[in-house]
Every structure is written in structure tokens, then in C-alpha cells.
Amino acid sequence: MTLTIILVSMAAALLAGWLARGRSRPLVLLAFSALAVYAFQPALPVRHLDFWLPTVTLALVAASWALTAAPEQRSWRANWPAAAILAGIVLLLGLTRFLPFDAFLTASRPPQTFQIVLAILLAAALTGAALWLSRRSAKWLAAAIGLILALFLVLKVPELSYWTSFFFHKLNQQYSGAASAADLRWLGFSYIAFRLIHTIRDRQSGRLPAVTLAEYAAYVIFFPSLTAGPIDRIERFLGDLRRPFALSAEDLTEAGKRLLVGLFKKFVIADALALVALNGTNALQVRTAGWTWILLYAYAFQIFFDFSGYTDIAIGLGRLLGFKLPENFNAPYRKPNLTQFWNNWHMTLTQWFRAYFFNPVTRLLRSTKKPLPIPVVIFVTQIITMALIGLWHGVTANFVLWGLWHGLGLFVHNRWSERTKARFAVLPPRWQTVLNAGGALLTFHFVALGWVFFAMPDLSTSWHVFLKLFGFA
Amino acid sequence: MGKGTSASAVHPLRVLLKGGVLFVVLAFTFPVWGGALTRLSTYNWIVGGRLRLPYGGGNPDAVYSSSMTDLGVMLRSHVAARGKPAGEYRVIILGDSTVWGFSVPLENSLPFLLDAAGLTACDGRAVRVYNLGYPNASVTKDLLILDEAMQYQPDLVLWFVTLAAMTPDRRFDHPIITGNLGELLAIQSALALDLGIPEPADAGGKDTFFDRRVALNEFVRFELYGLMWNATGIDRELPDLAAVQRPALPGYVIYAGFLPPSLADDALSFDVIGAGVRLAGGTPVLLVNEPIYVQPDGPNTDIRYNASYPRWVYDEYRAQFAARAEREGWTYLDLWDALPPAEFTPDADLHPTPEGEALLAEILAPYILQIACGGGR
């Protein structure tokens, strides 16, 4: 996100916070967030795709709500204002194609009006079908998760992205030779997918609270956390949403602090570090092992300040709207071991995976007729969980290796900790401090070396960097 | 938050007011402390200095360098800005892209080769050669660089000149010149000359934080590029010469508005060269007419040496240069045909190949030693 978009978001958050104080709070937040879905979407080379992807986002949200909504929340009377707002925003944005100047809320000039009307009708039909199906069988919830994962794969597997873009080029009668895997940048979809799966899984397990369409949609596409998280939980979000809100001095001060800190982290520290951080080009140019380490350190801090800066901005924007979004980072590089690192790095993501993958799989493996030994269960679940987190960043060998690197590291730490914690617990405090400092240094370097897979475009360049780091290249 | 809580002690309006006042004070006092900020340099201190002046051309993030006009920042980033050791005989080379090494790797550029030659002056001092060339050709731009470089105590100035650097259209048309007209006026004033310098457009003084924000951003980026320069040794993306075809010689003989058969005595910027020699004071200046590519055969070779220079104007220029050097007592070396045509790259009529650069270094080394041993000025 650019500085301009962030500054506009701050103004929008202040306005939305002022407007969204009474019973209309979910509707106002929904309207602002739905507009943001379009405004944040970058321009795409496939004609009108930068309009259709946000539209599909809204359709998915509505259909997902219809599938998961509790029966008492499904009434037309309770939900028509939200449906009207969603449809109205799509239609109004579509009508901006007739303005005499360039589009300002969409990345490019919207498609023809009849196509938009058709899309709204299709989305309404899809939502209606989801409402009808949800009454008949819970299997449709699993199908919805399957659909979200399939969309995710299309976006993250380069070959699938390419062929999808190729298909869209053909469909639009555009030159298909220009199709590229990078054409399908669906802003915010990763985080939207996490929230959708969270609500569907909670519906399956009966934990999902009853929510209206306005509340559900405001949660899924909440604009402060649309592009970079954090991944909030709906029951926590509803607590803030349903609470009467008036911006207080404390809110304003806290929001201002987080926004300033976030802007400084992102646009001063991270952007400066980006100039000297390890990347696929300079990895092949750097001359000595010492400089390679410096570039790697720069990358490690750049990615931290960049991501945690965005989180601070999201939390600050949320605070202007009366939401205390969950923290995502808590000094992760100062933690004495890898387990604690992952408890403090992108915390909402790891909590999501823990809740919806690690814990269920662990329970499954432990509840078989012939339970596997604990170390084997830990090994399998940690390796697969971290590999999945890697795959979430992109379906490439490098991201898988990055995940495996951490999965293996977590397993080794788990076993080491099991064997040594009793002995270390009786050491004097001074020794504990020394051990913690040494552990933090070791953990940081383990994480930094893992970033090599993350930062490099392919395995051979990653291998080259490892050789260089240790003086073999 | 209700009354009486600790958070109610924070007054956002007061915070905003205090922040605003602090910002306004810092912004308006910027002219006082802003200059000092850009005089801080990490080069030659935290990271090593550059071997040639920063020149962008392409994506700055890929070549770890950027074009700028602040000569102080440029020179402070150069390895020449290090303190001069007692046993060093310091040679600086001024000139255009030929000296800078536009078409060859840095280690094949003329100043690098001369420095690597390990020459020793008669008094035992090690001859160290510094590349202060900068694209594109303009003797006025060279004069400004010389003025800034004199503080770094050169013992000899090698000044590479070609006809293109001395025409009226190049006299004031270069980003370094337009960005430093005030400095040029100061040189004119100090030497009591009239170089016909235009008045700076922003003579009113644009030195506030807002006026300088882009320059400050460039400065910070440039300092960070210093790390990457040290890490990679890269400051330039080499042109892909394999894809370059030498252009055919045009059939006209007009050059920079000059028409044959002769060139007026004051048509070229010899006065700027004279100013440079005076500026150097007691430091010897060796003026070198750069080698040019001479096309051996083909259409229009009877009227032109190459795509850049018609024969008549280049011959006139050489004759005037020799005569002016004789009259003014300048040390002048005409190397116009010192390199065979095969030793020029096809992207320009002035850029030697790596072999051509090596040959040129061999030719120049004795002259440098001769001057270093007190054999001429």
C-alpha cells in the first residue's frame, strides 16, 4: 500500500468512526470496507479483472454468510440493508464509468453496466442458493472450504495463475501472449480466505456466533486489516462492533501512536533497509561472506519492520474505528527459542493454523486405535503445519523448504527442550539470562538463514547464498 | 475513557500542537542545519569510498548509484576524499564518459589501469590516480569538479578534452552546471573572468526543508547505496555492446551550428580551460585531446572522421587547441589518433575498448612520470 492510500484510509477511518456510532455501525463499516475492497485493488492487465475480483470478494462474503448464518439471523428484514449496500456500491462504482474523468475508486474504468447488473443478480442467486443449501446439508460447508482452497491454489500456483490469466485474455479477446502468472493479484484474498474458513469451520463445530450479513461482511472485509491482517476472530471482533463507540482521547492517542510508529517502521526503516536487503539480484553480485551476512541481516529486519509496520497501521486504523485488533508481533527476534519466536511472529496466522490444523491433526493422530508415539506426532504435525504456512506464501519449492526448515527447527527445539528444561530450570538466574541471550542469538540466526529460502527466487540461488555465507563461494 | 483515569491526562490537541510547533521550528531552521546534514557522509568512514563519481543511468536500485548535482556529496563519496598520505603523488583525471569508463568494466577504465600500474615518482612517492571523469562532455562541468576537487590536494591534473566538450551548446547545458550556477559564478568572481554565466533561475534562495526534500531523499538513498557499492563493487550496468551497430556517417558537415570552412577564434570554450588552469594554481595540468574513432573507409569518410565529427571542424579545433596551448603555456598532449579504429566500442566515437584503455594507459604513464619528476608543466 502506498503512503497516499494509507493517509486516505486514516481520513476514511476518522469519518467512518464518526458516522458509525449508533445502530448503523455495522452498515457504515460495511460500506466503507466494501469501497476499500475496490480502492485497494491494484490495476491488472486483464481487462476489467480489477473490478471483477473485488466483486467476487463481495459475492463470496455474501454467499459464505448465507451458508454459515444461524437460522434466526437469516431474515430478509434484518439483512436487506446490508444486501442493498453491497449491491448499491457495486452498481454505483460501475456507474462511475460515465464520469468525465478517470476512475478514482476503482483501478480502471469499470465494465459495462449491464454486465455489472448481471453480476449482481448472479451474486444474489448464489447467496440465495447458499441459503437454501445450508438448510439441507452441512456438506456444503465443506464444499465451500474446498472452493476457497481451490481459488487459493489458482492464485498461488504459478502455472495455474498463468493458465487462468491466459484464459481471461482469450475471453476478453486480448493478446494471450502477454498473459503472466503475476496477472492475478487479488488484493487481500489470502486474509479474506482465512476469515472465511474460520467462520465456516466454526459453523461446522457449532462455535460460530449468530451474526447478520452486515456484521459478517464488516468482519471479513474490515478495511484496516484487509491487506495485511491481523487475522481477527469473529467473536472478538463482534465484541468491539456491538459495543457503543465514541472516539475517546485514549483511542485517538493510541491510534496516533500506532499509526506514527507504523508509518515510521514501514516508510523510513523498512524502505531504507530494502535498498540494502538481500534479493535475487544482489545475492549473485555480493563479493564476500561478510557482506552477504550484512545483506541477510538487512533482509531479516526489513521484512520485520515492513510487516509489523503494516500491522501497527492496521491496529491504529482499527482503533480510530473503536476496534482493538489483535497484535501480530511481539519482539520476535528477542525470543530465546524458535517456539517462542513463532508465538510472537505473525501471531494471528500461527494461532489460526494452530486452531484449524495443528490441534485437530494432533488430536486425530493421538486418537487412533494405535496412537503414534508423541515425538512422531509432534514431528508430523509441526512439519506439515509449517510446510502449509510456507505454501500459503506461494506454491514454490523455496517456500516449502522455508516451511520445512522451521518445522524441523521447531521439532528439534521441542525435543531439546523436553530433555533439558528440568536441568536448566535449576540454574541460577544469571545463567538463565546468559542462556536466554545465547538462545536469542542462535534463534535469530536460524530464522535469518531461513529467510534465504524466502528471499531467493529459486533453489540454486538459495544454495549459492548459503555457500557464500559460509565462505564456500 | 471516563474522568479520572490515567489516559485522560493525555490531551491529543496538545500533542498535535506541540508536534506541529516542533515540526515548524525544524522546518524553518532547516537552512541553518540542513547543509551540515548533507556534509555528513558515510563514505570513506563507515564504508569505502567510490572509485568514480556517482552516475545513474538506468535503475538506481540495480546499479547502487544515482545521478545527482550536489558536487560536495559526490566528491565526499569518492575515494579521493580520503586524507592524502604523505608518500602519495596524487593525480586526478577530469573528463567525460571516456574517463569515467562508460563502456568498459570499472577495472578496465583508464584511471583504474593507471592507478594499478603502480607508478612511482622520482622522489619515491607512489602515484595514485583518481577517476573524476563524469558523463557527458562539457569543460564547464569539468571546471566545477576541479574546483571541488582542489581541496583534496592533487599533485597533477589530467584533463581529457574533446571538441564536443567545448561547443557553445555544451557550455552551460549539463545537470551539474545548471545545479551549480552559484558555484560557477563564485569561480568567475574569484578569477575575475567573464564566462557569460546565466543567472540562476532560483536566485531567491530555495533552501527550506520543503524545497530540499527530494534532494534529502536522494542523499539518504545515495548513502545507503554506499553499502551496496562496497558489497558488490557495482556502480554501473554495462551497455550490451553486442547489440550495438556503429552508425553510418551522415553526409552533412554542419557541426553544433558551425559551418565550414573555418571556426572563429572564440567559438570554443578555451576560456573555460584557461580558467581551469588558473584554478589549479601551482598544480600542473596536462591537457589531453582524447583519442577519437577514425572510420577508415566507407561513404562520407572524405568529409567526416566519424559520425560525430566532420573533418573540417575537428581539424580546426585541433589547430586552435595547439595554438592556444602554445600561446598560454599550457601542457598539451594531442592523442586524437593514438588508438587504432578497432580499439573503439561501437556505442560512441570516443569510448575505447578494454584493450584501447590499456594502450592509452601505456601511452600516458611516461607523461605522468615526466611531470611527477618535475619535467614540465
- In contact, A449 and A442? CB cutoff 8 Å: no
Q: What does the pLDDT look like over A417-446, one tens digit per residue?
A: 999 988 888 888 899 899 999 999 999 999
Name residues whose C-beta falls within 8 Å of residue B29's C-beta, 6 or more positions apart in sequence: none
Whether pLDDT at B10 is above 70: no
Average pLDDT, chain B: 90
What residue ranges do the domains of chain B occupy?
Answer: 37-372
User: Treating both helix axes as pointing N-terminal to C-terminal, what angle do A249-263 and A3-19 enclose, rounded to 10 degrees?
Assistant: 170
Contact B231 A285 (CB under 8 A): yes
Across the interface, whether the CB atoms of A250 and B228 are under 8 A apart is answered no
Q: B108 CA to chain A: closest CA distance, Å?
A: 18
Average pLDDT over residues B176-197: 89
Looking at chain B, the whole-number percentage of residues with pLDDT higher than 70 is 94
Task: Determine the average pLDDT of the residues in B311-317.
Answer: 96
Q: Determine the Cα–Cα distance for residues B90 and A437; give it in Å rounded to an integer.
A: 50
Four-residue CA torsion sign, A198, A200, A202, A208: positive
**C-alpha cell at position A87:** 449491491
Give kind and range of the element (H or E) at residue B110: helix B110-116
- Region B37-372: CATH code: 3.40.50.1110
Q: Is A393 annotated in the active site?
A: yes
Separation of alpha carbons A464 and B285, rounded Å:
48
Residue B310 DSSP SS3: strand
Of A275, A287, A291, which is closest to B221 when you measure between CB atoms?
A275
Q: From the candidates A3, A14, A251, A253, which should be mutated to test the interface with B, based on the most B CB atoms within 10 A?
A: A253
Q: Does B3 score more than 50 pLDDT?
A: no
Percent of chain A with pLDDT over 70: 100
At residue B103, the pLDDT reads: 92
Q: Does A205 touch chain B (CB under 8 A)?
A: no
- Per-residue model confidence (pLDDT) at position B376: 53
Q: C-alpha distances in angstroms, A101 versus A31, A50, A473, B117, B174?
A: 23, 18, 56, 64, 38
Which residue out of A346, A393, A413, A445 is catalytically annotated? A393
Q: What is the mean pLDDT of residues A206-235?
A: 94
Give Cβ neighbours of residue B68 (< 8 Å, ≥ 6 apart): B54, B74, B215, B218, B219, B222
Beta-carbon separation of A250 and B10 below 8 A = yes
Taking any CB pair shorter than 8 Å as contact, residues of chain B touching chain A are 1, 5, 7-8, 10-12, 15, 61-62, 220-221, 224-225, 227-228, 230-234
Taking residues A59-83, what's their average pLDDT? 92
Q: Answer yes or no: do B1 and A281 touch at CB < 8 A.
A: no
* Residues 6 or more apart whose Cβ sits within 8 Å of residue A61: A192, A196, A216, A217, A220, A221
Q: A431: burial class by Cβ within 10 Å (0-12, 13-18, 19+)?
A: exposed
pLDDT tens digits for range A303-335: 999 999 999 999 999 999 999 999 999 999 999
Give the residue carrying C-alpha cell 455501525: A25
CA distance B226 to chain A (A): 9
In this complex, do B231 and A256 lie within 8 Å of one another by their Cβ atoms? Answer: no
Instruction: Answer whether B10 sits within 8 Å of A253, measured CB to CB.
Output: yes
Which of B10, B224, B233 is closest, CB to CB, to A275?
B224
| Chain A: residue whose CA lies nearest to B2 | A248
Tens of pLDDT, residue by residue over A350-368, are 999 999 999 999 999 988 8
Task: List, for residues A9-48, the tens digit of each pLDDT value.
Answer: 999 999 998 888 788 899 999 999 999 999 999 999 999 9
- What gap in Å lies between CA A90 and CA A234, rounded to an integer? 25
CB contact under 8 A, A250 and B221: no
Checking if the pLDDT of A90 tops 70, the result is: yes
Split at pLDDT 50, 70, 90, the class of B187 is: very high
pLDDT at position A197 over 80: yes
Q: How far does the CA of residue A285 sit from the closest CA of chain B (Å)? A: 5
The answer to whether residue A248 neighbours chain B at the CB level (below 8 Å) is yes
Q: Is the pLDDT of residue B57 over 80?
A: no
Q: Is A287 on the interface with B (CB under 8 A)?
A: yes
Chain B residue numbers with beta carbons less than 8 Å from the beta carbon of A287 are: 231-233
Please, how many CA atoms are within 13 Å of residue A297, restricted to the half-sphere of its CB? Answer: 8
Question: Rounded distance, CA A359 to CA A352, Å?
Answer: 10
Q: In angstroms, rounded to a whole number, what is the distance separating the alpha carbons of residues A107 and A187?
A: 12
Residue B181: name the closest of B168, B195, B191 by CA.
B195
Task: For residue A291, list chain B residues with Cβ-Cβ distance below 8 A.
Answer: 230-232
Three-state DSSP class for residue B95: coil
Task: Supply the DSSP string of B23-66, one letter for each residue.
Answer: HHHHHHTHHHHHHHHHH---BTTTBPPBSS-----S-HHHHT--
Give backbone dihedrals phi and psi of B130, rounded to 5 degrees, phi first. -120, 130
CA separation (Å) from A92 to A85, A87, A242?
Answer: 10, 9, 28
Q: Can you give the pLDDT at residue B9?
A: 54
**In this model, does residue B34 exceed pLDDT 80?**
no
Given this model, what pLDDT does residue A194 score? 95
Share of chain A above pLDDT 90, in %: 79
Which residues 254-283 on chain A approach chain B with CB closer than 8 angstroms? Answer: 256, 272, 275-276, 281-282
Could you read off the pLDDT of B221-267 as tens digits, one per residue?
899 999 999 999 999 888 888 888 899 999 999 999 999 888 898 89
Long-range contacts of B241-247, Cβ-Cβ distance < 8 Å, separation of 24 or more: B241/B103, B241/B345, B241/B346, B241/B347, B244/B345, B244/B346, B244/B347, B245/B346, B246/B307, B246/B346, B247/B307
The full DSSP string for B236-254 is: -PPP-GGG--PPPPPS---
- pLDDT exceeds cutoff 70 at A271: yes
Asked if residues A69 and A211 have their Cβ atoms less than 8 Å apart, the reply is yes
- Structure confidence at residue A137 as a pLDDT band (50, 70, 90): confident
**Does A294 sit within 8 Å of B221, measured CB to CB?**
no
Give me the mean pLDDT over the B85-96 stretch.
96
Cell of A465: 547464498
Q: Do A282 and B228 touch (CB under 8 A)?
A: yes
**Chain A interface, mutation test: which of B17, B227, B229, B238, most A Cβ atoms within 10 Å?**
B227
Condensed to tens digits (0 to 9), the pLDDT of residues A373-399 reads 899 999 999 999 999 999 999 899 999
Helices (H), A172-288: 189-204, 213-220, 234-242, 249-263, 271-274, 282-285
**Is A285 an 8 Å CB contact of chain B?**
yes
In sequence order, what are the beta bridge partners of B160? B288
- Lowest-pLDDT range, A52-66, A422-436, B337-351? A422-436
Best mutation site among A247, A264, A275, A292 for testing chain B: the one with the most B CBs within 10 Å? Answer: A275
pLDDT band at B202 (very low <50, low <70, confident <90, very high): low
> In B, which residues are within 8 Å of A319 by CB distance?
none
β-bridge pairing B285-289 and B331-334: parallel
Judge: B232–A248 Cβ closer than 8 Å, yes or no. Answer: no
Q: Do A295 and B231 touch (CB under 8 A)?
A: yes
Nearest CA in chain B to A253: B12
CB A6 within 8 Å of CB A223: no
Confidence of residue B7 (pLDDT cuts 50, 70, 90): very low
Q: Would you state the pLDDT for residue B259?
A: 92
- What digits encode the pLDDT tens for the residues A227-259? 888 999 999 999 999 998 888 888 988 999 999
